[in-house]
Amino acid sequence: MQGNDHIIRLSDVSIYIRQNLVLSKVSFAVHRGEFLYLIGRTGSGKSSLLRTLYADLPLAEGEATIAGYDLGTITQEEIPFLRRKLGIVFQDFQLLTDRTVSENLKFVMKATGWKDKMKMENREQEVLRLVGLPMIGYKMPHQLSGGEQQRVAIARALINSPEVILADEPTGNLDPETSEGILQLMVDISRQGTAILMATHNYSFFERHPARTLKCADGYLTDTQLQVRPEDF
């Protein structure tokens, strides 16, 4: 990857879904430990950009690197290794509903090569403490509130100590107070050195925690810095 201080770097990237051009000439870089918002109206390309970053959509044009991987040359065999360096958080939690919180976390660990049971147990407890839920490993997802389920999803994303977390509307299904707690958790995680790129429609986040903001609109992505208006969300 070019530049040791950048965890993400895109240059003149065009993003397609099938034959449809979604975003053109996307260029930006993200520093290690940086917190950014990704904003734009529904259908503007936010999710497509995130999907490109975690190699769910192939890179069609331009140059892109993330966590040391070149998205233009990455192979199918390399994609699971890339995703071990990323944390991905979705709006709808995507927890396994037939397993406990502990089993959800251990499922990810086993899938990414963990074998030592004691290390797995310790890491499980560590990430649950990090998200403020140290005593819920035995519970089923349906026994948790929406906010608690999202915190478990964030704990799952933290399992492999990712260099960057890509969060796609992580508070979209949550009430304002719970959403604020999730935002603060994300900010705290970034302060520990993990870059956060968080797609959101929530303008109140920006009011409470201003940060660099990338905006998708009219087929392009612009780096708005701190010049953001409510209608941009």
Position 17 in a domain: no
Do the domain assignments include residue 151? yes
Q: What percent of the chain has pLDDT over 90?
A: 79
pLDDT at 2 over 50: no
Decide if 95 contacts 141 (C-beta within 8 A): yes
Q: How far does the chain reach from its first CA to its final CA, in angstroms?
A: 32
Whole-number mean pLDDT of the chain? 91
Is 173 contained in some domain?
yes
pLDDT of residue 189: 94
> Number of H helices and number of E strands within the chain?
7, 10
Structure confidence by residue, pLDDT tens digits, 9-59: 999 999 999 889 999 999 999 999 999 999 998 889 999 999 999 999 999
**In terms of residue numbers, what domain contains 209?**
33-55+87-232
Indicate whether 3 belongs to any domain: no
Angular region, 87: left φ>0, alpha ψ -120 to 50, beta rest: beta
* Domain-located, residue 216: yes
pLDDT at 65 over 50: yes
Residue 69 domain-assigned? no
pLDDT of residue 1: 34
Strand pairing class (35-39; 195-199): parallel
Q: Is the pLDDT of residue 221 over 60?
A: yes
Best CA proximity match to 163, nearest among 137, 134, 193, 142: 193
- On the question of pLDDT at 87 being above 80, the answer is yes
To which H or E segment does residue 202 belong? none
H or E element that contains 117: helix 117-130
CATH number of the domain residue 172 falls in: 3.40.50.300
pLDDT of residue 3: 44
Asked if the structure places residue 130 within a domain, the reply is yes
Domain count, the chain: 1
Given a cut of 80, whether residue 147 has pLDDT beyond it is yes
DSSP 228: -
Q: Is the pLDDT of residue 204 over 90?
A: no
Domain contains 147: yes
Average pLDDT over residues 185-191: 93
CA 184 to chain centre: 15
